[in-house]
Structure 1
Amino acid sequence: MQIVHQSRSKTFRCPFGARPAGSMIMLALETESEADEIDFVLLDYAYGLDQFYDGKIMMNEQTQPVDDPAGAGASASETADQENLRLLEKRRFTSSVHLPGLPCLLFYWFEIRLKNKGCLYLCAHPSHDGSGLITSGPPLYHALETRQPLPFQVTVYRENFETPQWFRDATLYQIFPDRFRRGADFDLARFHQTRPEPERIYHDNWSDEVDIKGLPGQGYQATDFYGGSLKGIQEGLPYLRDLGITALYLNPIFMAKSNHRYDTADYLNVDPMLGSNEDFEALCQAAAQAGIRIILDGVFSHTGADSIYFNKYGRFPGIGAYQAVWDKTISPYFGWYNIHLNQGQISYDSWWDFPELPAVREHDLTFREFILGEKGVLATWLRRGASGFRLDVSDELPDDFICELRQRVKQVKPDAVIIGEVWEDASNKVSYGHYRDFLLGNTHDGVMGYPFRQALVAFFKGTIAADELNNSLETLRENYPPQALACNMNLISSHDVSRFITEVAGPLPPPENRDEQIRQKLDPAQRALGEKKLYLACFLQLTCPGVPSVYYGDEIGMEGYRDPLNRRCFDWQLVGSPLNLRLKELLQLRRRYPLLARGKFECLSASGSFYAFRRYINADGLDCCGQLCQNAGSEIRVLLNAGDKELQIRQADLDLTLEPYSACLLSGDQKLLFKA
């Protein structure tokens, strides 16, 4: 017996994707007409987050002529799933569902009751293509279950969920502050004396290789410094503006022991190695004049052991939580940590058992007031000029903490953005045994696009074809609220993963240890191929839904495996190189064609190395987030060939040759807009 439900086809689910709370959706199932043994079909559902409420709805059978193109106007990807049934008389079962009035996840599946037995129709999850499969066993959807097999999912988000338009339109650039640029006032002697802690390594030369060993007898601690500064970033603003950048995301700038500064020592002050609070305010003012916003990295799940708050090494005045336990005295920060003295030994909870990163108790009221209060850390930096925060390890923060964080951020600066570090599909992310409220309109505006990166890396390494790439991207479009998808940080490199060019063009398997990795450089052939793939990946960053995010140095083709090799100093000698100039031209696309940020998305073709889609606005003038825009009735078609053979595109209104590793933009009437 053939059964079809395709969650990405408006024939079977309408409207598409995530939906606001309290709205209606239509769900449908089709079977062969000779399946007369079917007595009835039930729509089974369960909705909630921690607790789920389930139920069943009797579906209504309706007749449909054979020659009725069920879903006329549907895309090629929609109609492909119906071809077999198109040749048959179909039995069609439908149900209109009133979604819950509060944000949640709604799971659904179908129960087909036959005369002698029954079966279930669940999501064919491994294929990620919206199709289903027949099974006898029930779905497993609770957070503590294996979640295989899975039901279909509808993300139900807050009705008035809004995200900042400026960020949805942005082209983002991520900077690791110590490694971008020294300021013109850089002084070598002052550099060595600013924070002369004994574990520190100071690089006199900007071109020095990064440290992977640490000082003798101390081991690697990520405490080597080059002298990059906020003034250096400010002096680099003309370059960034000309590159097409409209927003900067800075890795942590607060005082800390390490060069990555995820071990915060003082939340209220810029690390002296980077400058001063006044330098930050000056940077924000200069950036605003250049049309660029600044987003800070907020690390609130842990602090540094070497900090005002914990003060394990006694380097700060006052009494930290560690000293309070050891000396049995009072510290205002004692309640921030789970810390104990037992038989002369101090033990404490730490982030992933790293002793230099003591974990914070986010439910402690004094910590909440310090971070989230009216005069707290968030409000302070927003008033100093920040336009939002990227939240480090969002899945380590309680939902209610992020909810309160959102309330404070939006109260101080309503158009500020909140981006979460989430590595998986954030719509159904499970951590610590719970589904997380990450994209329901209560916490983040968007998240880091690691699933986007994973799909592009696999595609350009040749381990998946274009149809699988499209399935991965469509899964995000189906599960994420449109206003959150428009804020998805479409990255291909970051401070936590290998640089894209190394990932897709480097040797396989990659070297296993840092000693081998630090010596690894792409040979000329690898480099040439890597630059082609990097360029096309950047092209997809700019044309797919979401915010294109450039990791500093990718635009000049910097190489490197995971940290610290992906955190080398920006090579200013490569500015103006052929790759840099080509990517600079590419990065102007969103300014030139706002439709690439605001348009709706439809896949046109995905096969082998060829991927084609369109960004469009219907005649009603509503963009991908349902807001009126000025591009009513417009369309841009995106064609990409990621293979080493040229492709001939022959259609009724199109005759085009796509060279190997090339792409182009076409207008709705097939005029060439841009050739990559």
Structure 2
Amino acid sequence: MLVEGISHKCAFTDCYSLNEDELVINVKTNKSISKVVIVHADPYIFGCSGTDPWSGQPLELHIEKELSHELIWSVTLKPEFKRIQYYFEIYAGDELCYLFEDGVHDKDFMKKDNIIRHFYKFAWMNRADICTHPKWAEDIFWYQIFPDRFCKLDYEGNKQLNDWDDYKSLTRDSFYGGNLKGAMSKLEYLKDLGITGIYFTPLVTSTENHKYNISDYEHIDPDFGDNEYFRKLVEKAHSLGIKVMIDAVFNHSGRGFFAWQDVVKNGKNSKYYDWYFVKKDNFSFDGNTKDGRYYSFAFVDEMPKLDTSNPEVMDYFTKVCKDWIEMWNIDGIRFDVGNEISHAFIKKLHRELKAVKPDLFLLGEIWMDSTPYLLGDEYDSVMNYPFMQSLSNFFVDETLSSDDFMYMMNYCYSLYMKQVNQVVFNFLDSHDVDRAITRCGSYDKLIQQLSVLVTMPGSPCIYYGTEIALEGKNDPDNRRPMPWKDIENKVYDKTISTVKSLISLRKQHKACESQNITWHSEDGRFIKYEKHSADEVLKVYINAGNSPLDVTINNEQVLFSHLYDSSCLQKGGVIITKLL
């Protein structure tokens, strides 16, 4: 019997409280395994001594997800007394082994007397330990705005600006004058598009167009407006049913930040010296920090790294967040470089900010598996880079099959607890990566990716300009100014209408956000899956191959289609239907 790859840990995403009553248990196995049974009962049902006889009730698990080389088996239990003890029976045809906390045992293990078995035990379903999130985040549709490039109206800053319509002269140092007044003037546009949440990249005072090297965390940058104007923008957004999330850059500051300035002036005598990681008191030259004179973000000298293990740093920036909430009544905070901030700091932020505003949404920017940050006492969600990367890779690499697509999506949704998957921040592109259409090289592929985005669990987000298929390679090209003249002249009406239809479909059909997915294995690159909710079943058909496909729709209502006519789904086509 092949036992390699069989694993379970009574913690993290293998065993966790879904809510106050339900406990989710997952087991990973290789694909030769045909059945998994959990044997479970209360640990004290037969006594409280570790040597008392104990037996449990068997219950078969189901295959929750199939990955490329493994299966994930799952069961949801309702422990009567909020605790549970268990082990597993693992079958490969007629062969049997047992899985306990100390590993896999052969079929004769249970016949042995006078041994102490290493049972799994989930000690107690403590309410305070359950991973929860703001309920509103389950139904949100985000729109990311890079303020300097979104919309300019009555600019009052002091920068030398590029011509708004001239993106070809764009450099990393360019300013275009986008501001809060411009953004506020487009709130109705966003509402009409179907947007219910705006994520702004940094808005507070900084010397650069991106504002990630912050010199003053308490004031809106004059390039964009002022504190009072942002308060009005948030107020208007709320009146339109739109939530607002802003960017927090606490991994590092800018060199203009008062604490860094004091360190530069006073060296080791600065009371802020321990706010940073200074190795050499030599601040007389610029250039990357690979010489180790001080730590910085990605060796960028203008972004000295903050020590977020320092209690003074934690206190200062926790107060900054509280001030933001009080001043602007924001709904969410996105934490830049969220995996380099100390766990202790994030826990403090979660604890203290949720006390001020319980439904505040805390989002971490992390580019990989983020499980340690999503256990209930840190972030509510993270930017789902595994989703973006997997989706992009499938549409770029045409050697991948529809089964590969299933494995990739299942991998993404195997990383976290179910409640996290419900609000994980899904996106196709952002200010940090190539535009989606540029990466995949095809308008049709973009529409296919958007169709996946709106029919998968999570909190979906589009980057400004994605609704018009705006192109752009990586920074700075992915930060072109929004071409409002062309939009107003109806150049992009067809694309906007298509994206608007997809967003509307997402909002109108709860099955889109459901985690109940049935995959259909099809030949080549023909993707077919079903989404199930309590009230409906949606079907998604995507032709990612190079030839037309005959797709006959029976007893289904077509909700959305692209390149589909008379039972023919063209290359690049999509159909989303509702089962009648």
TM superposition score category, shorter chain reference: 0.7 to 0.9
Q: For 1:414, which of 358, 364, 382 is the aligned residue?
A: 358
Q: Does 1:173 align with 2:134?
A: no
Q: Does 1:489 align with 2:425?
A: yes
Q: For 1:280, which of 208, 211, 230 is the aligned residue?
A: 230
Distance 1:475-1:18 versus aligned 2 partners, 3 A rule: farther
Q: For 1:502, which of 438, 443, 448 is the aligned residue?
A: 438
Partner letter of residue 331 of structure 2? Answer: S
Distance 1:60-1:486 versus aligned 2 partners, 3 A rule: closer
**Inter-partner Cα distance in structure 2 for 1:182 and 1:382:** 26
**Inter-partner Cα distance in structure 2 for 1:391 and 1:589:** 30
Distance 1:410-1:652 versus aligned 2 partners, 3 A rule: same
**Which residue in the other structure is 1:133 paired with?**
none
Quick check: 2:15–2:25 contact (8 Å CA) kept in 1? no
Distance 1:182-1:61 versus aligned 2 partners, 3 A rule: closer
**Inter-partner Cα distance in structure 2 for 1:81 and 1:309:** 50
Q: Does 1:379 align with 2:322?
A: yes
SS of corresponding position for 2:168: coil
Q: Does 1:668 align with 2:570?
A: no
Quick check: 2:96–2:107 contact (8 Å CA) kept in 1? no
Structure 2 residues not aligned, in runs of 5+: 40-53, 72-91, 110-124, 286-292, 557-565
1:190-225, Cα deviation, whole Å (9 max, x unpaired): 44xx36xxxxx522444343543xxxxxxxxx4321
**Which residue in the other structure is 1:550 paired with?**
462
Quick check: 1:223–1:259 contact (8 Å CA) kept in 2? yes
Q: Does 1:642 align with 2:576?
A: no
**Inter-partner Cα distance in structure 1 for 2:457 and 2:162:** 41
- RMSD over aligned CA atoms reads 3.9
Distance 1:242-1:653 versus aligned 2 partners, 3 A rule: closer
SS of corresponding position for 1:613: strand
Cα shift at 1:93: 4.0
1:343-377, Cα deviation, whole Å (9 max, x unpaired): 897942222222111111112222221111xxx11
The correspondence of residues 220-619 of structure 1 with structure 2, limited to 5 A, is: 222-311=172-261, 320-325=262-267, 330=270, 333-339=272-278, 347-372=293-318, 376-383=319-326, 384-427=328-371, 437-461=372-396, 462-505=398-441, 530-575=442-487, 576=490, 577=492, 578-598=494-514, 600-605=516-521, 607-617=523-533
User: Which moves more between the two structures, 393-402 or 657-666?
Assistant: 657-666
**Inter-partner Cα distance in structure 1 for 2:528 and 2:6:** 21
**Inter-partner Cα distance in structure 1 for 2:342 and 2:432:** 23
Q: TM-score, normalised by structure 1?
A: 0.66
Identity of aligned residues (%): 28
1:537-589, Cα deviation, whole Å (9 max, x unpaired): 01110001112110111111111111011011011134342222211222211
**Which residue in the other structure is 2:78 paired with?**
none
Q: Does 1:20 align with 2:17?
A: yes
1:203-255, Cα deviation, whole Å (9 max, x unpaired): 2444343543xxxxxxxxx4321110011111111111111111011111110
**Inter-partner Cα distance in structure 1 for 2:530 and 2:31:** 31
Quick check: 1:298–1:392 contact (8 Å CA) kept in 2? yes
Distance 1:356-1:30 versus aligned 2 partners, 3 A rule: closer
Distance 1:89-1:258 versus aligned 2 partners, 3 A rule: closer
**Which residue in the other structure is 2:166 paired with?**
207
**Inter-partner Cα distance in structure 1 for 2:414 and 2:349:** 27
SS of corresponding position for 2:234: helix
Distance 1:238-1:89 versus aligned 2 partners, 3 A rule: closer
How many positions carry a matched residue from both structures?
A: 499
Distance 1:269-1:639 versus aligned 2 partners, 3 A rule: same
SS of corresponding position for 1:637: strand
**Inter-partner Cα distance in structure 1 for 2:470 and 2:573:** 21
Distance 1:580-1:485 versus aligned 2 partners, 3 A rule: same
The correspondence of residues 64-75 of structure 1 with structure 2, limited to 5 A, is: none
Distance 1:30-1:209 versus aligned 2 partners, 3 A rule: closer
SS of corresponding position for 2:521: strand
**Inter-partner Cα distance in structure 2 for 1:60 and 1:18:** 18
Cα shift at 1:487: 1.5
**Inter-partner Cα distance in structure 2 for 1:660 and 1:465:** 15
Partner letter of residue 574 of structure 2? Answer: A
Distance 1:81-1:304 versus aligned 2 partners, 3 A rule: closer
1:264-304, Cα deviation, whole Å (9 max, x unpaired): 11000010000000111011001001111111111101000
**Inter-partner Cα distance in structure 1 for 2:65 and 2:314:** 51
Distance 1:109-1:202 versus aligned 2 partners, 3 A rule: farther
**Inter-partner Cα distance in structure 2 for 1:76 and 1:251:** 35
**Which residue in the other structure is 2:562 paired with?**
none
Quick check: 2:179–2:224 contact (8 Å CA) kept in 1? yes
**Inter-partner Cα distance in structure 2 for 1:32 and 1:536:** 34
Cα shift at 1:418: 0.9
Quick check: 1:59–1:93 contact (8 Å CA) kept in 2? no
Quick check: 1:32–1:91 contact (8 Å CA) kept in 2? no
The correspondence of residues 23-62 of structure 1 with structure 2, limited to 5 A, is: 23=23, 25=25
The correspondence of residues 183-194 of structure 1 with structure 2, limited to 5 A, is: 183=153, 185-186=154-155, 190-191=156-157, 194=158
**Inter-partner Cα distance in structure 1 for 2:274 and 2:252:** 13
